[in-house]
A and B are shown apart, each in its own frame.
Chain A
Amino acid sequence: EDQVTQSPEALRLQEGESSSLNCSYTVSGLRGLFWYRQDPGKGPEFLFTLYSAGEEKEKERLKATLTKKESFLHITAPKPEDSATYLCAVQAGQYGNKLVFGAGTILRVKS
């Protein structure tokens, strides 16, 4: 069974304090790993897709990386507006069509 585990469950940072969120996964035949941001009461907002080990994607203060077992979302010099829940999801299997989500990391950035 495909599994996705995110850590830590919650993270508090001071503005400007860089850190990383982890997403470890066990799947059969990874087709894609996805990072989303979710604000309270809203649907998830797409951030990145990673398809193969070694791949990296960057957007503003965020950088996502992928290995064969895990993915990291690095946040550089975060700002209060980066506060949100960050979700990791995987799509697996030759004909797999659905995403399996991790429980998420709640990020709070204080000014």
Chain B
Amino acid sequence: GAVVSQHPSWVICKSGTSVKIECRSLDFQATTMFWYRQFPKQSLMLMATSNEGSKATYEQGVEKDKFLINHASLTLSTLTVTSAHPEDSSFYICSARTGKSNSPLHFGNGTRLTVT
């Protein structure tokens, strides 16, 4: 089955530093990947849509200069949290589709970011 791999699974960083999270599609090519954020006991909120070879599309209220997305190949998208602050601490999850535009999203196992 479709596998989406996310790395790292958890990271702790100091306030003001930047953190990069990688999302890979292991057995399929993904022209589009989606980045979600999840706060404790809350649902998934879409942050941005990552498009291979072009700029990402950000949801309303998401700072594109703070959450940098790069989708340089058909199997890799990265999310960089720049100048992280404690309020950026959250669970970040990426996802991708293997088929048609209304086929299911397959999710990575998420990255727990803690900013101290």
Contact = CB atoms under 8 A, between A and B. Distances in A.
Interface of A: 31-32, 34, 36, 41-46, 49, 51, 87, 89, 91, 97-104
Interface residues of B, number: 24
B43 A43 contact: no
Interface of B: 4, 6, 32, 34, 42-46, 49, 91, 93, 95, 101-110, 112
A98 B46 contact: yes
B61 to A, nearest CB: 14
Given A43-B4, A97-B101, A98-B46, 14 more contacts: A34-B104, A34-B105, A41-B110, A42-B109, A43-B107, A43-B108, A43-B110, A46-B104, A51-B102, A97-B32, A98-B34, A101-B45, A103-B42, A104-B43
A36 B32 CA distance: 20
Contacts of A97: 32, 49, 101
A98 B102 contact: no
Residue from A43, A49, A87 with most neighbouring chain B CB atoms (10 Å):
A43
A86 B33 CA distance: 22
B10 to A, nearest CB: 9
A6 to B, nearest CB: 8
A41 B34 CA distance: 19
A98 to B, nearest CB: 5
Contact of A46 (B32, B102, B105, B112): B105
Contacts of B49: 97-98
B104 A41 contact: no
